[in-house]
Amino acid sequence: MSRIGKRPVELPSGVTAAISGQTVEVKGPKGTRSFTATDDITLAVEDNAVTVTPRGVSKRARQQWGMSRTQVANCVTGVTQGFKKELEINGVGYRANMQGNKLVLNLGLSHDVNFDVPEGVTVTCPKQTEIVVEGIDQQLVGEVAAKIREWRKPEPYKGKGIKYKDEYIFRKEGKKK
């Protein structure tokens, strides 16, 4: 039995959910998100909450149960609070700034990296060594942050590169004489 799937997803004030077939559409102050569930589960809106129940006792239905409940909860969180990933840049001369809808990264390469920010995500640079990625879609926010980090992953000797703010870099000792 799914412990996560049993709990209904509460809808805070200002958030509405509409179900049509297997699709849940959640509207809130930050925007609209939708999630289409598989045929193995049933969705219902009762008492200002969305409930997810499996249609059978098959293994696939039980797997989809908890995952679908979490996806609906992420839609509700996205339209109320939104999601945010913070990145830090470490290294001499490494910096970032926004120019219109492009993130310009100077990462010690022979050229500047121009990263086009996709629709549905906002990227800001409060400092030259900080990047903040925000949006209502958790998957898209994480994907954009991972693509930015991919340009220069942190290396273990000096810690230079782009890392998540809460990430720990395992440091290695260099060569000795």
Question: 3-80: what fold?
Answer: Outer Surface Protein A; domain 3 (3.90.930)
In the DSSP assignment, the letter for residue 12 is -
What is d(CA 19, CA 42) in angstroms, rounded to the nearest whole number?
A: 10
Interstrand relation of 130-135 and 121-124 (parallel, antiparallel or unpaired): antiparallel
* pLDDT given for residue 1 in this prediction: 62
Architecture of domain 83-164 in CATH?
Answer: Alpha-Beta Complex (3.90)
Pairing type for strands 83-90 and 130-135 reads: antiparallel
pLDDT single digits (tens) 134-177:
999 999 999 999 999 999 999 999 989 999 999 999 999 988 87
Confidence of residue 74 (pLDDT cuts 50, 70, 90): very high
Question: Considering the entire predicted model, what is its pTM?
Answer: 0.87
- pLDDT tens per residue, range 122-133: 999 999 999 999
Domain ranges of the chain: 3-80, 83-164
3-state secondary structure of 69: helix
Q: What is the pLDDT of residues 75-123, one digit of tens each?
A: 999 999 999 999 999 999 999 999 999 999 999 999 999 999 999 999 9
